[in-house]
Amino acid sequence: MKIKFLKNGLENNKKTILIGSIMILFAVLFSFFVLKNIYKKDMIIFPENATYYVENQEIKLQNSQIFLNPVYKDLDQDDDEDAILMFTQSPGGSGTFFYVAAAINETGSFRGTNAILLGDRIAPQNINFLGSTVVVNYAERKPEDPMTTQPSVKVSKYLIIENGTLKETDQPAG
């Protein structure tokens, strides 16, 4: 009886230790995955929350500033998808300035570039691509037109990424 009791006791202890170890293992794995995801969320920067540069000033975009959601395309020919987006800035007064900026994909996280000014209260149409050249189509006013006139002059701006900077170009690189 005594021996059997002891044996049972030992076996119960073993069971407890085994269950305990499994629980600890699960707890460790669980925290590992939770922490990993939190870490990941902190590390990944999406085009919407990247830092952009307007005339060398760092800016973070408010949702209300994003006029055209990021369009994804490999802009620097390294086989990952970068992004291009359009946003507005209304620094006091009545002006609404439209800008285009790119976000460079750096192993899944995005680094914002400088922004290129399109103009005040223009009429954006769309963003297309010619190879890795970005084509921004919009309409603006004639220089002599007052701001009350509807933009009627069609413009295409060609933009490329060169050494991590967004630049205007005349000739589409194709």
What is the binding site for Ca ion (CB under 5 A)?
74, 76, 78, 80, 82, 105
By beta-carbon proximity to Ca ion, the closer residue of 100 and 122 is: 100
Cβ 10 to Ca ion shortest distance, Å = 60
Neighbours of 134 (CB within 10 A): 26
Cβ 105 to Ca ion shortest distance, Å = 4
Please say whether the beta carbons of 151 and 143 come within 8 A. Answer: no
Cβ 129 to Ca ion shortest distance, Å = 13
Cβ 23 to Ca ion shortest distance, Å = 43
Rounded to an integer, what distance in angstroms lies between the CA atom of residue 141 and that of residue 151?
Answer: 4
Rounded to an integer, what distance in angstroms lies between the CA atom of residue 29 and that of residue 154?
Answer: 58
By beta-carbon proximity to Ca ion, the closer residue of 58 and 79 is: 79
By beta-carbon proximity to Ca ion, the closer residue of 96 and 132 is: 132
State residue 8 phi and psi, 5-degree precision: -60, -45
By beta-carbon proximity to Ca ion, the closer residue of 135 and 155 is: 135
Rounded to an integer, what distance in angstroms lies between the CA atom of residue 130 and that of residue 75?
Answer: 10
**Exposure of 24 in the CB half-sphere (CA atoms within 13 A):** 6
Rounded to an integer, what distance in angstroms lies between the CA atom of residue 122 and that of residue 114?
Answer: 20
By beta-carbon proximity to Ca ion, the closer residue of 105 and 133 is: 105
Cβ 132 to Ca ion shortest distance, Å = 8
